[in-house]
């Protein structure tokens, strides 16, 4: 029998953004000394694709300290983002027709009255 071919990972997402927490913590130990930016939390959250509150938790696991007010501010900002997303989703649902159908009013000729056609149901 011949050799088996290795399957190449065809993911377009960078590896450091696909890591789970335990792997991120290992990788962060090597990444933090190389980081040259001003805001470690922002850099960590962008590099590893996590939110800032998660970045603070993981950086605390690695031995960094942060003020309680900073953590509370991040938590409040995260709650605010969730509320805004809920409002956007509610607004999208209100734009839909009550029975869930989208209506199209085609005009055949300028003198013809438009009519309704139910084409598809919106999920």
Q: According to the model, what pLDDT value does residue 79 have?
A: 94
Q: According to the model, what pLDDT value does residue 24 have?
A: 96
Q: According to the model, what pLDDT value does residue 10 have?
A: 74
pLDDT tens digits, the chain, 123 residues: what are they?
667 777 776 788 888 899 999 999 999 999 999 999 999 999 999 999 999 999 999 999 999 999 999 999 999 999 999 999 999 988 777 666 555 555 555 555 555 555 555 555 555
- Dihedral sign, Cα of residue 110, residue 116, residue 121, residue 123: positive
What residue spans define the domains of the chain? 15-97
Report the predicted TM-score, pTM, of the whole model to 2 decimal places.
Answer: 0.66
């Amino acid at each position: 029998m011949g050799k088996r071919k290795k399957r190449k990972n065809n993911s377009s997402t960078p590896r450091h953004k696909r890591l789970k927490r335990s792997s991120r913590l290992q990788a962060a130990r090597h990444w933090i000394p190389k980081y040259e930016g001003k805001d470690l939390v922002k850099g960590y959250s962008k590099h590893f694709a996590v939110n800032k509150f998660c970045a603070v938790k993981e950086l605390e696991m690695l031995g960094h300290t942060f003020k309680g007010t900073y953590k509370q501010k991040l938590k409040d900002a995260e709650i605010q983002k969730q509320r805004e997303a809920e409002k956007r989703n509610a607004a999208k649902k209100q734009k839909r027709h009550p029975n869930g159908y989208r209506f199209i009013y085609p005009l055949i000729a300028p003198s013809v009255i438009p009519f309704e056609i139910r084409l598809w149901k919106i999920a």
